[in-house]
Structure 1
Amino acid sequence: MEKSRREDEVRSARELLIKQGLVRASVPASLVAEEIEQSWRRSVSHRVDPGVGPHILGEIDPDSAILRAAGRILDQWQTNLTDSRMTLFLADEDGRIVSRRIVDTQDERALDQANAVEGFDFSEQSLGTNGLGTPIESRGIVFVRGTEHFNDALAQLACAGAPIKHPITGRIVGSLSIASHVDVASPLMVAMVRQAGHQIAEALELMADSRDLELARTYRLFRSSRHPVLVMNSETVMTDLPALAHFDAESHADLWEKLRRHRWDQDELQVELPTLGAEAMVRRLGRAGQDAIFALEFTSQAAAGQVIVADSQDSAAAPAGGVAVDGVASHRTRPTPYSDVQRQLTASADVEGLIRVVGGPGTGKRHQASRWLRQHTSQEPEVVAARDLAADDAIWACGEAALRECRGVVVVGGGDLSDDLRARLGAFARLSRPGAPAGARVILTERAGDANEDGADADPPVVRVPALTELRDELPDIVRAVAAELFPGAPALRFSPAALQCLLAWRWPGNVAELSRLLTAFPYPVRSGLIQTKDLPAPMRQTAWSSLSRYEQAERETIEGALREADGNKARAAKILGIGRTTLYRKMRALKIDADERMIAPGP
């Protein structure tokens, strides 16, 4: 009776918190532990529905580091718990269950009904307070019993959960939970999950490749400095810097790529980093290319309100006392080139008549023209193909109607126009239409090289849309903008640093059109999680190892050949190569060989 009354009180307190809100409601300190109340409050702020179960998050990578590290340990604990009714759950950093070990089969049906199954999302943002997602958020051990779970379907369970921290980076890479029916739960579950979590962390340290170990040694070396220090390689950042809150995966990839591409005459240089609001001495350690390590010692904070713009083509733009590292002093402080395109269109509109927008295939000429017209007319423009102007007078009538309706006209494919049609279109654009706003203009889009491109002083004026390779510094912003248009209302895409480095290094022959195809090709589970190098097309992934030495490239090709010969079986491939499987895994990671690249045929 006492237990039932407590469960009712806990449920009522949780429901009151949901109903009254975070400010008005309070939870008695004697009712639940502080970490449970804090988790409830986070769950309410995320608007988690306690009646909605978890959703599937996507396929599980069987070769992921956390699964390889935990496999043997989970086997051992499953054997040790044979006489109990406890279940082991392992989740990755996103809170997705990647392994479930059921000790007593009579629990399997109940767990299946609660979707406590591999592949399902048990993050706190998705499911609220639980033994897998909450340790990741709180970065500590939790014991969630019965109705303390935020989701109603888990009310019959008790779960002791522990975060799994990478022993080198300190990053949370997953969580472990030991669960039982609430009637047979024991506080010993907390000690058990703590011990198992430590064992998995130790296994991760043994698996760590030499690059991470070298990074950790470098961090310890520079950490004794009197200044804040940040060290990084292509995949990992270690720092004690408070400004790390502003240093996300995008900043890491962007800074790494620019430092890597910089022409290093010496092994250290002074740079300004406005994104972090500081000046840093950067030292390059290790070998060049993907094996390099950069150590940033933050020697001073940037002045409040200071804005520093560095142009990779103009060393005079570097800050006093510092060096501009190929534009590393932050592209965020200046407008993007697409803003320049819009301004040029506005300036061109000062001249009567036709406006020409010129650029390479896929650069987004029609998109930029239509965007400008929408902004200046508040209406959708009429879009026609240039080749149709010769065959159908009705097209001209539609254009005339669009202009009189205060809309604009975009004529696509100017290379198909004859000289006579081009002259006619120019005259059509110069016709006076009383009452039409200045923004209701005729814009012709043409491929670069199809016609004279003398610029804004040409007649008619020309606005050039740059190729994506010219916008490498702005690429993360462009990816966000394109994704927002393709997936309106969806959360922003998240790329791992390694995946972003591939995007930054790619040549983008298809420009923005190619970027759009790439983003739409990602299935929803990938778009909703962390996009990694394995999710990118094989040729794009290969840009990550273009800077390998000839010896490393030869070694990479040898390993790929063995994987193809073994039909992707890594144990067989290791035997073919005469090395251990652990060594093979380490080399695959160091040489950027993804598991799904194994069947790629070698190039000509």
Structure 2
Amino acid sequence: MHVHRSAPDSAACAATITPRVRASWRRSARYGLTAEEMRPVFTGSVDTGSLLYECGSAVLRGLQATLANEPVSMMITDPEGLVLSRICEDGTINRSLDRVNLAPGFYFAEENAGTNGLGLALADRAPSLVRAEEHYCAGLRGYTCAAAPVLDPVSGGVAGSINLTTWSESASELLLALAQSAAGNTTALMLARGAGHSSHPMPRGEVFRVYADRMRAPDASVLTPGWRTAFAEARSAFRGGRAVAVVGEPGTGKTALASLARRELRRERVLNVRPPAPDDVEAWLELWTPELGKDSTCVIISGVDRLPAWVISELAARLAEVRVHDGMQPYVLTAESAEDMPEELRRLVDAVVEVPALRFRPDDVQPLAQHFARQRRRRDVGFTPQAARALESFDWPENVRQLRQVVREAASRTDLIDLNHLPPEVFTGPGRPLTRLESVERDEIVRCLAEPGTTVGEAARELGVSRATIYRKMAQYRITVPGRASRS
């Protein structure tokens, strides 16, 4: 195997590489790496008990049987680029990979090893093929690496990656397809072996238009106590012509808050754009970025912390060129936290407004619930005291988005929402994920206890178990049904 030591940005190579790889080279240089120096960091242990490791290993063992006589090393990494596992029966390539530290226990993200397959797949959150001379560091130019991110089936975030590495002179046409297939199969197996959660929708890059002349000014039912401070901060920043980022957990209402604050200041149309699927990035950018230059238009760019790295550079360049419209910036960014915002975009932000999670503002639950119920029913909807307590006591891991779904579903069936109109998860405290069988058992117990007037003893008789079993199961599943647990 021959390893070339020329600079990674040589003219011959630069003329043929893709914009993604070129952007990765620039990031590698910013990390302080050189063609001669990699910095793979070793950690003492890896997490071999995770669902990702379990499912990825099962998928790669099956793929290994297909590639039994091929010099292909198959790896699982975590989202930070830590190599968790390496499966390969070819001793020669294994020894070679050990020499460059592409082995379990080493971090191989871009900041550690420069442009490489798994690092690029994690940075851009997209399938990536990096051939010999496309590697930033010379020590990796004897290999071709194909990698694809593994998406968490529940959260939709990046759980890790699958990486396939072979010699640079080997055929690589099918390598990327195999990596994508293995990553997809790992996600599917994680869903099947998980807690029976429904799959999270994958990014599609939707663009939504909201017209100011069709919407009223925000009312008191929307501007709940926990929102008012954030709303006032956003409104003040917009009025001052500052570029604003609204941060908070998924489902807290970041986009809604930004839209409401803009709408109170002036009539304008608002576009909300969401992260695209990896294959749609270029079309996604071309679809909406021309709107930034139009008068009385605001673009809310959601989830910038989930954008591929090369897109972030392109987006930052475009945003840096836009001009203030009538004293207000024409864009707003959202992310989960200020720390998660990419540095290139964070430099463009003048003010960060944080929207607190719903669990930190229980006084907002009832006003929001009444607002969502009225939206669904087109009239006022009541809540029994027990239902109100159940809603206020729940942790709402998916925040306002989850509350809206729960209340709208309940309001579609009644004008007075009681315990039996709420889904089982509302009565369950935080804990480990449940298996499908446990979820069914939990749901049946809640269904019985939530019926008006039902006692624990009556629920036990209906289910054919003892009262002691019901109490034990309630403790096991952290079930709390207001007004029911203490009855005979």
TM-score (norm 1): 0.39
TM-score scaled by length of structure 2: 0.47
